[in-house]
Structure 1
Amino acid sequence: MKNPVLVLSSVLLLSAFSCKKSSDGNKSIIVEENVEKTVSNDNGKIDSTFTDAKTEKTADTQVQEITERYVGTDGTSALVTFKNSDKEHTISIRSNNKTIVLPQKEAWAKGGIYADHDIEVKSEGDNITITQGNNVIELKKARGQ
């Protein structure tokens, strides 16, 4: 008889002193997410693209991430994320459960060059070229998803 009473009193004691969770969150970080899917009619064909954009603002920094799906000439798919902040500009390419992240070395209006070690990525408009030694991989922004 004493065991159930002891257990019950312990549960009541713990629940009386348990922490309250606040749903207010961290007010100093503002996250804006925008998932956009556009469909346009070009020469009688339906063309769709997918873009996922996220902007995170704090008191002293702003980080913007744009993720788009690209397709290789062999049909493989890759997710490409452009990350821009006050401190860094990087490109992240994920395919076949592997990810490479490279810092930006050069930039212009519609593209840039990202490089680290022996890998170089050139982004121009809807095209991305990955070069590592003698290997060249061409990616194009996905259409018709």
Structure 2
Amino acid sequence: MKKGILIAASFVATSLISCKKNESGNKGIIKGDSSEQVVLADNGKVDSTIGYNVDVNGKKTIKTDYVYKATDGTLVKVVYNYDPKESNVSITSNKKTFILDKKESTGTETTYEKDEMKATVKGDSLILHQGNNIIELVKTKI
């Protein structure tokens, strides 16, 4: 009986010593840049009109697609493209898509334009100017 306990205790002690965890990690792995991607407005400040998704690990990614609701209840899909080379917004409603190019951003308000159509994004609202028509949209939680 004592022999069995002694063998088990020596086995546990040996396995604890041999499985010592190295806290410094693998030095052969290059750590990636952990800085978050931040979109800046034209004035060089952080653009507050940009939304972010946060996953369960806390990693932030830029949210690009939203559903907005018009005052008459119509749902509109809006997709933002934040690529510095061609920053634009595409607005889809009733199977029609309008793509507007970014013209200016102040950090709290962003303006998109193409031909006679203009969109102004401020906070959770998007205001479309199309000729003499003004359409007000608000982000939904869908």
TM-score (norm 1): 0.53
* Runs of at least 5 residues in structure 2 that lack an aligned partner in the other structure: 1-50, 54-61
2:135 partner amino acid: I
What count of residue pairs does the alignment treat as equivalent?
A: 84
Residue 101 of structure 2 is aligned to residue 95 of structure 1: no
Instruction: Quote how far apart the aligned CAs of 1:129 are.
Output: 0.5
As a proportion of its length, which structure holds more strand? 1
- For 1:95 and 1:133, locate their aligned partners in 2 and report how far apart those are by CA, in whole Å: 17
CA–CA distance in 2 between the matches of 1:71 and 1:133?
20
Identify if the C-alpha distance between structure 1 residues 99 and 65 changes in structure 2 by more than 3 Å, giving closer, same or farther.
farther
Structure 2 counterpart of 1:106, which letter?
Answer: E
Alpha-carbon distance in 1 for matches of 2:64, 2:102:
15
Q: What secondary structure does 2:64 align onto?
A: strand
Partner in structure 1 of residue 80 of structure 2: 82
- Coordinate RMSD, CA, aligned: 1.9
Instruction: Give the number of the structure with larger relative contact order, counting CA–CA contacts within 8 Å between residues 6 or more apart.
Output: 2
Q: C-alpha offsets along residues 34-91 of structure 1, whole Å, 9 cap, x if unaligned?
A: xxxxxxxxxxxxxxxxx897xxxxxxxxxx6600110000000011111011311101
Matches within 5 A, 1:55-134: 66-134=64-132
Identity %: 33
Q: Structure 1: how far apart are the matches of 2:52 and 2:105?
A: 22
Report the structure number with the largest CA radius of gyration.
2
